[in-house]
A and B are shown apart, each in its own frame.
Chain A
Amino acid sequence: MTVLARLEHIVKDFGAVRALDDVTLDINHGEVLGLMGDNGAGKSTLVKTIAGNFQPTSGSYSLDGQPVHFSGPAEARRHGIEVVYQDLAICDNLTAAANVFLGREMMKRVGPFKVLDHKGMNRRANEIFKELKSETRPAALVNRMSGGQRQAVAIARTRLSESKIVLMDEPTAAISVRQVAEVLALIRRMKDQGLSVILISHRMPDVFEVCDRVVVMRRGRKVADKPIAQSSPEEVTGLITGAIQSA
């Protein structure tokens, strides 16, 4: 496996709060990385630093060996880093296709004007949903969709461009068991397509089901980083609570 992104000695302070404390982490091509830890451990901060929402206080960050300094999420997106936000960042009053293309609408020419290409966007969104093997109808409104379908809409957004890393912050937090399975299947499909995925989750079974590697954070520090096959739910639980110092 080759390294796609490398974080070295990353520190992130919010005033007096040290949210990330000397975190060093490699993200490999085509791997699903599980990120676990208690509330406030720094998981979201780490992911937001990778996504360009936050600039680290100190430390270095490189992609494919090139140092990067993202001024914001838009710049990170141009480098192939996509985020599926925790609250899903979806507009309920729009269709699935409109959400997928939000901010990146396909346009077509009508005489001297450029207008929204509804058909084109529906068609492309439908292709992406098929790729993801999700039964999401592009022209249906999102407010009538299940949690799994909404997740598919959020993930489909990341498939519009040539993304390399997809960051998912607790995608399974607020959905039913059947829908969790759907989301996990979506994650596997992204991995099959060669993407790297970072999955933040509180759900131990999810992490052990789809992840190749698990990283545990505690109070801003990385306390474990190992292949999932060499760990166990008991060990991870101990690492999260602090019963086990590090592994």
Chain B
Amino acid sequence: MTNHQDRAPGMDVDLLQGSTSPWRGLLLAQESWVALSILVLGLIVSFIAPTFASAGNLLNVFQNACFIGIMALGMTPVIISGGIDISVGSILGMCAVTLGIVLNADMPLAVGIIATLAMGIACGVFNGAIISYLQLPPFIVTLATLSIGRSLALVLTNNEVFYEFGQATASIIALGGGYTFGFPNVVYALIIGVIILHILLTMTRWGRYLYAIGGNESAARLAGIPVDFIKISAYAFSGLMVAITAIFLVGWLGAVTNSIGTGYELQVIASTVIGGASLNGGFGSALGAAIGAILVEVIRNALLIAGVNPFWQGTFVGCFILAAVLLERIRSLRR
């Protein structure tokens, strides 16, 4: 879906290949196209509805995009390795409920955060272990987890809403809903996440092996790569990013309902794919996932502001997914 033909992720560092200009790479990178779409879409909508471009609304768009964006960062290694995780919405529910229960019991925020992160990672390891060791299709396994996770969230909360966070009430709301240097805290989380994931994908063995597994799993095995371990770690990473999202989201909303995160998987996967990850595996980038999330949110917000019935949102997001996939097809044909 990206730049497949002309620029491998993180491998455009070659000096021996001095002839290709960096502008060519930029022009072919899906991230550039998505960024351009965001600009064009933003301009058009500001003409139709000037409120779109107000500082308050833009900040709101950006903040919403961050929640999806952090989860999309988690989805990226999974998709690069040739898998898929459709359970992220339910894992978000499990993590939020965990945080709610722990804080509701008047525990310190640190304990709540650790418990939430542990829950996210545990859900990811559960997915990854079943996919790797039982050799079941990722779609089916995470579909089961989607169902189990949401059901457990209902069981654990007994349909109760948590909004009492004991001694941690002020701090969790400050963390998730607060601002630093004029931007919501979650924005920094996304930016740091993009940088860390970019480094992991382009500069470490872990990243290299994810691409290799997504490109040709049996070749990766023959090369002695610990394929199962890498796959499990990808799902665990996804779970971790979901947990981080849960912490910010709960702080921002100020409450935990057991339906929190329902349906998020579609937006998360859409963001990742629009940002250049290939559902066939082998391609994807950290920046792409984040920019994809912003585009998805801009579409949603633009439709809302333009007064379009929100029932249409899914149609528009779906069309953008199709467009992104078609773009990849066209590029690979031109090869």
Contact = CB atoms under 8 A, between A and B. Distances in A.
Interface of A: 73-74, 85, 87-95, 97-98, 102-105, 107, 115-116, 118-119, 122-123, 126, 137-141, 143-144
Given A89-B216, A89-B218, A91-B216, A98 B208 contact: yes
Nearest to A85: B222
Contacts of B16: 122-123, 126, 137-139
Query: 10 closest Cβ contacts across the A-B interface?
Result: A139-B14, A91-B215, A103-B223, A93-B282, A93-B215, A89-B219, A115-B203, A102-B223, A103-B224, A139-B17
B5 interface: yes
Given A93-B283, A102-B212, A74 B224 contact: yes
Contacts of A98: 8, 11, 208, 211-212
A141 B219 contact: no
Contacts of A115: 199, 203-204
25 contacts: A73-B222, A87-B218, A89-B219, A92-B215, A93-B4, A93-B282, A94-B212, A95-B11, A98-B11, A98-B208, A98-B211, A98-B212, A103-B223, A104-B223, A105-B205, A116-B203, A116-B205, A118-B11, A118-B14, A119-B14, A119-B15, A138-B14, A140-B17, A143-B4, A143-B335
Interface centre among A94, A95, A126, A137 (most CB of B within 10 A): A94
Contacts of A88: 219
Interface in B1-40: 4-6, 8, 10-17
B17 A91 contact: no
B225 interface: yes
B216 to A, nearest CB: 5
A99 to B, nearest CB: 8
B211 A91 contact: yes
B280 to A, nearest CB: 9
Contacts of A89: 216, 218-219, 222-223
A136 to B, nearest CB: 11
Interface of B: 4-6, 8, 10-17, 199, 202-205, 208, 211-212, 214-216, 218-220, 222-225, 282-283, 335
A131 B15 CA distance: 20
Nearest to B212: A91
Contacts of B14: 95, 118-119, 122, 138-139
Given A89-B222, A118-B14, 20 more contacts: A91-B215, A91-B219, A91-B282, A93-B8, A95-B14, A102-B220, A103-B223, A103-B224, A105-B205, A115-B199, A115-B203, A116-B10, A116-B205, A119-B14, A119-B15, A122-B15, A123-B16, A139-B11, A139-B16, A141-B6
B216 A90 contact: yes
Contacts of A123: 16
B8 A95 contact: yes
Contacts of A93: 4, 8, 211, 214-215, 282-283
A88 B15 CA distance: 27
Contacts of B224: 74, 103
Contacts of B208: 94, 98, 102, 105, 116
B4 A118 contact: no
Contacts of A122: 14-16
Contacts of B282: 91-93
Contacts of B11: 94-95, 97-98, 118, 139
Nearest to B6: A141
A222 to B, nearest CB: 27
Nearest to B213: A91
B216 A92 contact: yes
Contacts of A141: 4-6, 8
B276 to A, nearest CB: 12
